[in-house]
Amino acid sequence: MEKQPAEKSYVFDQGYRDVGNAFAVTWGQTFDRASIQRLFSNVLLLIPNLVVFLVITVFRVTLNTIISILLIAGFLIVAPIVYIGFVVVAFFDFVYRAIKRISSMCPNCQYRFDLPAYVCPTCGRKHTRLIPSQYGVFKRKCLCGTKLPTTFFNGRQKLKAMCGKCGFDLRDGGNHVDICIPVVGGPSAGKTCFINMAIDQIHQTLAAKKGYVFEYVSNGLNDYEDIVHGMKQGYLPEKTSDMRLKYYQFYLTPKEETVKRLVSICDVGGEVYADGTMIGNQIGFRYANAFIIVIDPLSIAEYRDEISQTVDLTKYGASTMTIDEILSRLVVTLENLYSISSKTMLKTDVAVVFTKCDLPGLSDKIGRKAVNSYIRDHYATREAACNILCEAFLRRHAEDNFVNNVKSKFKSVQYFTCSSLGDVDGKSFIPDGVAEPILWLMKKILNNTDQKE
Ligand SMILES: Nc1nc2c(ncn2[C@@H]2O[C@H](COP(=O)(O)OP(=O)(O)OP(=O)(O)O)[C@@H](O)[C@H]2O)c(=O)[nH]1
Ligand SMILES: [Mg+2]
Ligand SMILES: [Zn+2]
Ligand SMILES: [Zn+2]
């Protein structure tokens, strides 16, 4: 363990030294040079001196042996009790974190860790591994003298927490389940509209209905409040200029659950997906629990050509980067980040989301109308119907590669259709179907980690 700004616990450190010193002092006097010299100081008195010397020595050895046995016995009794206590407490702290899936994500440098660094409230020293250790079992003593709790059972989460890498302030002292879902899609595919409207929908309508407590986390790294406020008045968000993942964070925790769930949805300027190096720099992908791949139907060349005959596409902000290209770059990036071969499947789930489904006529092909009539005719589930219709739509428009790759590469794939804006001509946007992909992925992620929904 990295050196901590704390005093080592007595039995792990000073205790050994004290026992060693006591031995040195007591045994050191037994055969000291002075008494041996005294023995030979007078040849005539050699015999009586020898007798005295032997008597004293036997007495000293007996006494020292008794003291040593008591010292060792005392240490042998106390030290194991502390060691066993340490192992038990460390084990419980570890198991608690593992079962609850507690980890922290840094929205600034994109790293994930099991525990953040903790700051001493008195002197501000940074403790990078505040766990039961040789510095203390339940508590450790910071170099300033303040005692700091070392587990979540006795209040470690109440300390100020920060990213151990970049120092960014983190929430709840690291005591939360963190879920990270990047949203992938080319420039103008509709990522920013989708993310902001989805979070707002979860907040305004779905959280309470499903028995969740919602709380938005203002981390100062995005413009969520302004974007949603603007969109409610009919203003579209600006193009995302950041070429680093931008974390939108909120809590979504079932009412009865004690450990909060912190969800991070990541946005980024779509140009990132045009450049292997730029996307490779997004270390956050390495720590993602799942992905949302956004498809602008207008980025499908054949469909765009078809619909442009009858619809003026200027107000739909058509994206031109092909979905096949984006998927390939994402997959290569993930293979590199995980250091796996191209034959290995990725262990993550994916939601493929068609945006802009308010495009005239699209709902009859893949949207709500089409799905409902497919369910009626084929007794299919909503999820299966949506997958069948969307895949068929993509294949009809020469996107077989995308369909095959996404299916073969990820653990499970579910298609969704949505519109972030609803009626584009209205004064305020009325989103439809934007929250479902996030809720579906959350359910998948938490089931994977053996947690209830
Ligand atoms: N009709 C319609 N248009 C949409 C919808 N979502 C996005 N758009 C249009 O697409 C444009 C781009 O949307 P954004 O959400 O900014 O796209 P983005 O993927 O974030 O793009 P970058 O920031 O460049 O990566 C918007 O300005 C809208 O014109 C939608 O659901 N329906
Ligand atoms: Mg954007
Ligand atoms: Zn301190
Ligand atoms: Zn950081």
Q: What is the pLDDT of residues 381-400, one digit of tens each?
A: 999 999 999 999 999 999 99
pLDDT at 101 over 50: yes
Beta carbons within 10 angstroms of residue 233's beta carbon: 9
Torsion of CA 388, 410, 283, 126, to 10 degrees: 110
Q: How far is the CA of 152 from the centre of ligand 1 (A)?
A: 43
Render pLDDT for 193-218 as a digit per residue (tens, 0 to 9). Answer: 999 999 999 999 999 999 999 999 99
Give the model's pLDDT for residue 453: 38
CA angle 442, 447, 451 (to 5 degrees): 100
- The answer to whether 270 and 319 are in contact (CB under 8 A) is yes
Determine which of 43-52, 211-220, 396-405 has the lowest per-residue pLDDT on average: 43-52
Does 36 score more than 80 pLDDT?
no
**pLDDT exceeds 50 at position 41:** yes
Residue ranges with CB less than 5 Å from ion ligand 2: 191-192, 240
What confidence score (pLDDT) does residue 359 get?
94
- What is the arithmetic mean of pLDDT over 153-177? 94
pLDDT higher than 90, residue 38:
no
Q: Which of 184, 192, 279, 419 for mutating ligand 1's site (highest number of atoms within 8 Å of CB)?
A: 192
Short-list 403, 308, 263, 294, CA closest to 356: 294
Averaged pLDDT for residues 435-445: 95
In this model, does residue 402 exceed pLDDT 50?
yes
3 state SS of 86: helix
Distance 119 CA to ligand 3 centre (A): 8
Decide if pLDDT at 150 tops 90.
yes
Q: 33 alpha carbon to ligand 3 midpoint, in Å? A: 48
Q: Write down the pLDDT at residue 423.
A: 67
pTM, entire model: 0.88
Packing angle, helices 400-409 and 323-338, rounded to 10: 20
Residue 416 structure tokens: 């969704």
Higher-pLDDT residue of 134, 331: 331
For range 84-110, the mean pLDDT? 92
Classify 176-448 by CATH class. Answer: alpha beta
Residues 6+ apart with CB under 8 A from 361: 307
> Where does 45-149 have alpha helices with state H?
46-99
Rounded to an integer, what distance in angstroms lies between the CA atom of residue 266 and that of residue 280?
Answer: 15
- The H or E element spanning position 180 is strand 176-184
**Whether 354 contacts 431, CB under 8 Å:** no
Alpha carbons within 13 angstroms on the beta-carbon side of residue 377 total: 8
pLDDT above 90 for 293:
yes
* CA dist., res. 317 & res. 311, Å (int): 13
Residues within 5 A (CB) of ion ligand 4 = 106, 108-109, 163, 165-166, 168
pLDDT band at 450 (very low <50, low <70, confident <90, very high): very low
Split at pLDDT 50, 70, 90, the class of 315 is confident
Q: 413-431: per-residue pLDDT in tens?
A: 999 999 999 865 667 788 9
Q: Average pLDDT, whole number, for the chain?
A: 91
Looking at residue 361, what is its pLDDT?
Answer: 93
Which residue's CA lies nearest to atom 8 of ligand 1?
190
Could you give phi then psi for residue 4, rounded to 5 degrees? -110, 150
What pLDDT shows up at residue 107? Answer: 96
- What does DSSP assign to residue 417? E
Q: Where are the beta strands (DSSP E) in 255-315?
A: 260-267, 290-295
Cα gap 243→284, rounded to integer Å: 13
What DSSP assignment string belongs to 141-177? EETTS-EEE-STTTTGGGSEEE-TTT--EESGGG-EE
**What's the average model confidence in pLDDT over 317-326?**
95
Ligand nearest to the CA of residue 148, numbered in listed order: 3
| Two tokens, residue 167 | 């120092």
